[in-house]
Amino acid sequence: MSAKLSQFIEYRDIGMIDLDNIYDLESQSYDFPWTRNILKDCIMNKYDSYVAIYNNIIVGYIISKVTSYESHVLNLTVNEKYRNNGIGSELLEMVIHKCKILQSDTLLLETRLTNKSAMSLYEKYGFRKIGLRKDYYKTLLGKEDAIVYRKLLS
């Protein structure tokens, strides 16, 4: 992340106050976004989730479910204008840190076969491909497979 931008990014836990802004970013980022109710349920059920804020605007977030055995990154989104500045890395590191605190053995996630930048990020953090979920994501042309990644933490 550029020194200029990184010094102004704030990271914190997601709260209900963030719901509208997260939903807006989700809707701008995906053709088939999570619904507002799904996001609300994640916040209300206290999933392990964080936001990245720049100039009082949410520019990224991660939603995960961390347990003492197996954890799962459910959604990692960064505003297109702010990608490749280390925001996704920092959000992912926050979840990995939480996993280590709770002594989680494994961290799982899925990503689209076409999402090369996400695949690069996950592999940089030691995630390994372990499987494929056929027709996992909706697309404008039908469906797309997901690659399943796993990071062993213990």
Say whether 110 is catalytic: yes
> pLDDT (tens digit, 9 = 90+) per residue, 96-139?
999 999 999 999 999 999 999 999 999 999 999 999 999 999 99
> pLDDT (tens digit, 9 = 90+) per residue, 9-36?
999 999 999 999 999 999 999 999 999 9
Q: Are strands 142-152 and 106-112 parallel, antiparallel or unpaired?
A: antiparallel
Strand partners, 128: 150
Instruction: Name the residue ranges covered by the structural domains of the chain.
Output: 3-152
Are the CB atoms for 5 and 44 separated by under 8 Å?
no
Mean residue pLDDT across the chain: 95
* Section 65-91 average pLDDT: 95
Q: Is the predicted pLDDT of residue 1 greater than 60, yes or no?
A: no
- Helices of type H across the chain: 3-6, 19-29, 36-44, 87-101, 116-124
Q: Identify the weakest region by mean pLDDT among 5-14, 50-59, 124-133, 142-151.
A: 5-14
Determine the CATH number of domain 3-152.
Answer: 3.40.630.30
Catalytic residue among 110, 123, 125, 136: 110
- Specify the pTM: 0.93
Catalytic residue among 61, 122, 137, 149: 122
Separation of alpha carbons 113 and 105, rounded Å: 25
Say whether 93 is catalytic: no
Q: What is the pLDDT of residue 62?
A: 99
